[in-house]
Each structure stands twice: as structure tokens, then as C-alpha cells.
Amino acid sequence: MPKALNMVIPGSSWKCGAFMISLLVLLSTTPDMTSAAGDKVVCYYASWAHYRTGAARYTVDDVPVELCTHAIYAFAVLDADSLVAREHDAYLDKAAGLDNYRRFVTLRERNPQAKMLLGLGGWTDSRSDKYSRLVSEPQRRAAFVSHVVSFLQEYGFDGLDLDWEYPGYQSSPQDREGFRLWVEELRAAFSPHGLLLTAAVSAGRDVIDRGYDVPAVAEALDQIHLMSYDFHGSW
């Protein structure tokens, strides 16, 4: 299991709150994606920060990709009817609007070593039963897997980061097994295309126990991004 330090970079020049860096120290079988020390710097871009005003506005061009080994665009979402991945915000993400998916991918021109991934899910997108419905049926998982390979290739992403928050959390206890199968089937489909498969997962023990078959999931994923934040607050 990787160790992760999640940081939000402060200061007006970084437009705090729109950009998160996770510094991960990992045992990796992919040395081409690591620094000499084996560290990974995983950067998440929250696309909705585009709509902020003044100094808080944060666009794709503001992402300091030079600091990242991996950059993740948050998010794509799961379509509630077809249960396949789709753009979250048509204006931001699609070519008919700002085309931010493709603009994000072209950030690799500033850092050719960076891997550009698409995040799927997020807290809001996980608030329904659609992920449970997806992973509960082999045919639905197969349709998702087939579609998402084409979806990633269409935009030029290097892989997918799963951010279902969380399997088995206020949903079916069968999610744990469904999530394992989903990850393993994605792994089998991604490997021939050289696509990366990662996941953002809970650091809470009760959520881990309910939602993740840790040995199996860890075997199938290229990286695990441990969400080790929000352990203290008004709650």
C-alpha cells in the first residue's frame, strides 16, 4: 500500500483550493513513470474552479504540470441511464465549448514525462446508486469497459483514475466484490493499450473494510491514491 501526503498549495499565485498535489512514495513496477527516488507527484485539477471569479479563478493553463509526474482532470461522470463515462460539464469539457479535456492533455507539451489521466466520479457523482448498478452486472461492466477505452483514446488521456466515493458506503454490501471485478476487468482491457489504471480510495478503516478487497485491488491498479485529508473539522 502506498504512503501518500495530500497537500493543497497555498498562496495567491497558486489560487488555493483548485489544485491538489499528492506526493506518493510507491513501490512501482513502472520505473519510466518515477523519479530517481521513486516518488510520484500526483496533481488533481478541479475543473469547476474555472467558474470562480477574481484571484480564485483557476484554469487548465494554471496547472503547474512541470511539478507533476501524473496530472488528473476531475472529473468525468457516470451517465445515469447508459452507465458509461461521459463529460461532466459540456461547456468546459467538450470541443463545442472550451475543449478542456484536450487542452489538459496538451499540457504534456510543457512536461513530456507527465502522465495525463481522467478522473471518474467524485463525491457528488457518487451520491446515487448508479455505481452500484454498474458493478453489479457483468454486462454493464463490460459495456463500460469497452466504452471507456475508446473515450480515453478519443481525448488522448493516458489512463483513468477511479474516484467512486465509496463502494459499500451507504449502498450495497455487494459493492466490494463488484468493485474488485470492475477493477480487474478494466486492468485486462487497459493493458494492451498501455493505459494506466489508478484509484482514489478512502483512508478510513471502516470504509476500507466495507468497500475494498485490498490485495486484489492493489494487484490490479498501477497506483493507489489515498485520500488522507478531512480527518478533522466541524464534525
| The pLDDT of residue 37 | 59
Residue spans of the domains in the chain: they are 3-227
* CA nearest to 162, candidates 179, 177, 175: 179
Q: Global pTM?
A: 0.86
Contact (CB, 8 A) for 78 and 115: no
Round to whole Å and give the CA distance between 123 and 163: 8
| The pLDDT of residue 7 | 37
In angstroms, what CA-CA distances link 131 with 140, 141, 167, 181, 230?
A: 10, 10, 8, 13, 23
| The pLDDT of residue 232 | 87
Q: Which of 87, 165, 184, 185 is catalytic?
A: 165
Three-class SS of residue 2?
coil
Q: What is the pLDDT along the chain (235 residues), one digit of tens a residue?
A: 333 334 333 233 333 345 555 444 333 333 444 444 579 999 999 999 999 999 999 999 999 999 999 999 999 999 999 999 999 999 999 999 999 999 999 999 999 999 999 999 999 999 999 999 999 999 999 999 999 999 999 999 999 999 999 999 988 999 999 999 999 999 999 999 999 999 999 999 999 999 999 999 999 999 999 999 888 889 8
* Architecture of the domain spanning 3-227: Alpha-Beta Barrel (3.20)
66 in active site: no
| The pLDDT of residue 93 | 98
| The pLDDT of residue 19 | 53
Quick one: CA dihedral 31, 35, 39, 41, positive or negative? negative
